[in-house]
Amino acid sequence: MSRLDIVRDGAVATVWLTRPDVHNAFDEHLIAELSAALRALDADDAVRAVVLAGRGKSFCAGGDLDWMRRMAGYGDDENRRDAAGLAEMLRTLATLGKPTIARVHGAALAGGTGLVAACDIAVATPNASFGTTEVRLGLIPATISPYLIRAIGARAAQRYFLTAERLGAAEALRLGLVHEVVDADALDARIAALLECLLAGGPQALAAAKRLIAEVVDRPIDAALIARTTEGIAAARGSAEAREGIAAFFDKRRPAWGG
């Protein structure tokens, strides 16, 4: 039985986690299915943006209890393979060539917090809760750490990785884990407004902008970085997409990708 439901609406694909009975907790099967779905959406030129959401009361409560019980009996090689699957899924989400939005309500714990941090944009309801609770099980938030530290910074991560405290939506907003907190009845409308903004951008430019952030963040502003940014804007200016976008602006019309 599928653990996902992918709903297409024009150029937008919403990937729903569909294990509401376990608060959309993931196991090795959901991880593999989500990885495959994300790769397929990335390869589909008709898809311009991806929303990640959860059915039921929660976004994603982290690891499935049965999965964790099985992991306790794994050997070193099995644990490495299992962890690599989770790490690759998160990397695929974080490096998707299309903009991603996390639609967050209810619990988004442990790996669920990682999913939120791996998305480009996160919008949450006031009842959303987050947390890196791994140490209470004798584990560590290893595979989600690159995305979470990028989102909230090392200093905040030092506190929450160690204390395993729950974060409410307001604190997640203050730390930068989520970008906006809106009432539940306004959640979908706000995401629709953000999608409208995203779909107004050139598809190639959006993908290049995502790569640019990854290449520039935490780098010294030296000759190599200046050269990289110079090459980036020069390549963009010479692209067919930029020619179309600039022509559309002066012609006072929508560009070809605007729909």
Distance CA 201, CA 219 (A): 26
Would you give per-residue pLDDT tens digits along the chain (259 residues)?
678 999 999 999 999 999 999 999 998 899 999 999 999 999 999 999 999 999 999 999 988 878 877 877 778 888 888 889 999 999 999 999 999 999 999 999 999 999 999 999 999 999 999 999 999 989 999 999 999 999 999 999 999 999 999 999 999 999 999 999 999 999 999 999 999 999 999 999 999 999 999 899 889 999 999 999 999 999 999 999 999 999 999 999 999 998 5
Same domain, 170 and 218: no
Do 133 and 13 reside in the same domain of the chain? yes
Indicate whether 193 and 206 sit together in one domain.
Answer: no
Query: pTM for the whole thing?
Result: 0.94
Q: Which of 198, 217, 239 is the last residue of a domain?
A: 198
Choosing from 33, 88, 134, 171, which is the catalytic residue?
Answer: 134
Q: Are residues 119 and 179 in the same domain?
A: yes
User: How many domains does one find in the chain?
Assistant: 2
For residue 160, the domain's CATH number is 3.90.226.10
Contacts 24+ apart (CB under 8 A), 39-43: 39/92, 41/6, 41/13, 41/15, 41/96, 41/98, 42/92, 42/96, 42/97, 42/98
194 and 241 in a common domain: no
| Residue 134 a catalytic site member | yes
Among 177, 198, 219, the domain-final residue is 198
| Count of Cβ atoms closer than 10 Å to residue 73 Cβ | 7
Q: Residues 241, 205: contact at Cβ < 8 Å?
A: yes
Q: Residue 222's domain is classified under what CATH number? A: 1.10.12.10
Q: What is the span of the domain harbouring residue 144?
A: 4-198
